[in-house]
Structure 1
Amino acid sequence: MARRKRLLVVLSYYHPYISGVSEYAKLLAEGLSADYDVTVLTGQHDPSLPVFERMHGVDVHRAPALLFLHKGYISPALARQYRALAAMSDVVNFHLPMLDVAWLARLTPRRVPVITTYQCDVQAIGGLVDRLAVAAVNHASRTCLRRSSRVVVLSRDYADGSEIVAAQPTHLVEGYAPIKDNGPGIAINRPINHEAPVIGFLGRFVAEKGIDVLIEAFAHVLAQRPDARLILAGDYKNVAGGSIYPQIEKRITGFGDRIELLGRIGDDELGAFYGQLDVFVLPSVNAYEAFGMVQVEAMFTGVPVVASDMRGVRVPVRLTGAGELAPPGDASALAAAILRCVDVRAGTSRQAIREAALGVFSNAAFVQRYAGMIEELAPETDESTR
């Protein structure tokens, strides 16, 4: 009798840590758990988290970190646990970037195929130690990609500009990303307000998100639309690699009640957040941002988007037509794109924006894409094996 195939998902950070990588892996693992036995191996980034728990049909193992470095860490415990879990698995799925993967890939049994999800490139943003850490991560990525049977990229647009992925003679699969559909939104029938637009951002307060550029752009918007508001949501305290909030706090508070700082919000609060917005902005400035799942999440609720015209990040707007693009790091151009977005779409149906996004980004197709790779790469299993 055939048994369910076993998938081991490995990444640096997992829920409750919030990032594009962790959310991608969580939605993937839970989506596949209906048909596969899915185990997640990750780091214990918060010592208060349990080393093992079962979450939404997925077994989650957390290994303590020995040393945090750049945005990652070194964990001998992770390697020990990986060796044991990989031996019991039919397929391993790594999510890069991940420093530890340099030796984890070598510990993978030869009979076990590897599907690697290449989430984004890494860039040095600090001094010598930071540059050395980035070099080590890039070496680890190359090592893992050479061991991989399939490499999933969020978009061909992003992969074509990546020195790490483009140099690997591997089977590339364009996977896009899984998106949480929070429904049509409480404001699906409300017209977009271009006279006093409510602008929204959701994400971690890290340098690559370009929040400082958004704040500068908001000043330009206020000069033309003095009743505009900006709502900033996302974790600005517990952020791997450090939060930029201390550097921009005074600038935020200087706007008084024109800028509202929400902090981290839960899944049950997302509907209310998006329901306030007339435009969502993703002002990313470097290659750490490879797609931007939140922008499609906003589209699903009927909110148009302004995103940076960067490889990968521009894909949702290009494919749906539900927004505008602006050059990264240019505050005046970003402000112009925000105003253009709300002006052009003042009479647009929010339902049309939602339907355009749903027509391109299907979670069912996303999960099936991975399931197809698992079935292709893993042999049939029976109760007698392992």
Structure 2
Amino acid sequence: MLLGRLLKILQLGKFYPPDMGGIERVMGDILEGMNERGFVCDVLCSHSKPKFALDITDSKARIYRTKSFGKLARTSITPQMVYFLRKFAKSYDIIHVHLPDPMANLALLLTCLDSQIIILHWHADITKQRYLLHLYKPLQTWLLKRADAIITTSPKYLEQSPFLQAYKHKCKAIPLGISCTPDNVSRPFVQKDTKTLFALGRFVSYKGFEYALSALRFLPSYRLLLGGDGPLEHDLKNLAKTLGVASQVEFLGFVADEELPRFYKSSSIFLLPSITKSEAFGLVQIEAMAHGLPVVSCAIAGSGVDWVNQNGVSGIVVPPKDPKAIADAVLEIAKDYERFSQNARKRFLEHFTKNQMLDSLQNLYLELMKNSIEGGGQITSCGYNTRFLSSSYKARCA
């Protein structure tokens, strides 16, 4: 384990907790998990504020938050990221980049890292900002060619992403995973007659929450707990009134992570009505499964959402933008609730735990280091290839 203990990893991403999103949560889990396993894992990201900050975690990990000058097409503009990457990137063995993030991509190009291992964590294709993609595509192609390995979050996304087909030989599917804590361990089957649905996410167009609201017209005895906030909040509340289902909906507002377990436990079925591949995985699905909640999700072309939720097993997959199909799926699950609930929990435990994700990442890190050693360079007494060592590590391993 000496190799793993000494390995230095730098994650690049848009933001980092407490600036939360699905990717940021994954970055946090990787940082904490890898440092617990004896690796050195730090983060370089953009700050959500116009200033630089350096945070040191309890595990002594460093979070470099570079000054942001605002956003362009959802991309944080932070030239400082280039400066810091050029300053200390060569002291790391592996650069683990979370995409899509054009700023991190540009920083890598300008840093000219010839010897470091670069891993791309391909969370999603760029789908909405087509004009940005037109400008960004040459940079993206360079990074795909330069990468030593590419991680996708599901086998389906790997098979269907048009950008990855020429690079499948260096791609690996590693599903996202979450902690199996006392708050989300097995739950008693006292909820099967509870007619409470739960949905959660940013109130933006691709989430498709309007179709969940419309489904309530066919489910008069059900209520919906809808957590989140965002630019469409006012529109969704007005829609609920227009549809005549306002009395069936409770808008929860933003729900903090520590509050989520009680909403999962008070609900019986989880809805993920997202309609485009901007929803590439649906991390909230595995949170629901961890609590034994069956899931109703949509079959989105090119997305891994319907791979995560196995149709007829952990829940039911329906066509996008179909409120009646959502309602029918809810009623179908209710007929055999205990089986769906048990299967949802089982699928979580078999595929989506945090330790499974970390095990796969650790194996990939060590495999890439092993290949780099076999590929040339002078081998130190620690078993490192000198091509991938900072001067401080060379001295320690001399």
Q: TM-score, normalised by structure 1?
A: 0.87
For 1:274, give the aligned amino acid. Answer: Y
For 2:238, give the aligned amino acid. Answer: K
Alignment correspondent of 2:107:
104
When Rg is computed on C-alpha atoms for both structures, the one with the higher figure is 2
Q: Distance in 1 between matches of 2:258 and 2:124?
A: 28
Alignment correspondent of 2:324:
332
CA contact (8 A) 1:95 1:117 kept: yes
Alignment correspondent of 1:127:
none
How far the C-alpha of 1:229 sits from its partner, in A, is 0.8
How far the C-alpha of 1:186 sits from its partner, in A, is 8.7
Question: SS of 1:163's equivalent?
Answer: coil
1:228 to 211, 222, 243: 222
Query: What is the RMSD of the two structures over their aligned residues, measured on CA atoms?
Result: 2.5
Alignment correspondent of 1:270:
260
Map Cα deviations across residues 74-117 of structure 1 (whole Å, 9 max, x no partner): 22111111112312111000011011133223224211010110
How far the C-alpha of 1:353 sits from its partner, in A, is 3.4
Q: Distance in 2 between matches of 1:301 and 1:108?
A: 45
Change (3 A) 1:315 1:56: farther
Map Cα deviations across residues 246-279 of structure 1 (whole Å, 9 max, x no partner): 3323124563342111122222212101001110
CA contact (8 A) 1:220 1:332 kept: yes
Map Cα deviations across residues 140-191 of structure 1 (whole Å, 9 max, x no partner): 4322211110000011211211111123355010101022334465992133
CA contact (8 A) 2:81 2:104 kept: no
Equivalent residues, number: 368
Higher helix share: 2
Question: 1:41 aligned to 2:44?
Answer: yes
1:375 to 366, 375, 387: 366
Change (3 A) 1:212 1:315: same
Q: With CA pairs under 8 Å and 6+ residues apart, which has the higher RCO, 1 or 2?
A: 1
Change (3 A) 1:256 1:212: closer
2:121 to 114, 117, 136: 117
Q: Distance in 2 between matches of 1:46 and 1:375?
A: 36
CA contact (8 A) 1:51 1:62 kept: yes
For 1:145, give the aligned amino acid. Answer: L
- List gaps (5 residues or longer) in structure 2: 374-383
Q: TM-score, normalised by structure 2?
A: 0.85
Identity of aligned residues (%): 23
Alignment correspondent of 2:379:
none
For 2:49, give the aligned amino acid. Answer: D
How far the C-alpha of 1:349 sits from its partner, in A, is 7.5
Superposition pairs of residues 1-386 of structure 1, within 5 angstroms: 4-34=6-36, 35-47=38-50, 51-57=53-59, 58-106=61-109, 107-124=111-128, 130-168=129-167, 170-183=169-182, 185=184, 188-194=187-193, 197-221=195-219, 226-234=220-228, 236-237=229-230, 243-252=231-240, 255-310=245-300, 311-318=303-310, 321-345=313-337, 347-348=338-339, 350-351=341-342, 353-378=344-369, 380=384, 382=393, 384=395
For 2:195, give the aligned amino acid. Answer: P
Question: SS of 1:133's equivalent?
Answer: helix
CA contact (8 A) 2:52 2:67 kept: no
Change (3 A) 1:352 1:326: closer
Q: Distance in 2 between matches of 1:320 and 1:88?
A: 49
For 2:227, give the aligned amino acid. Answer: A
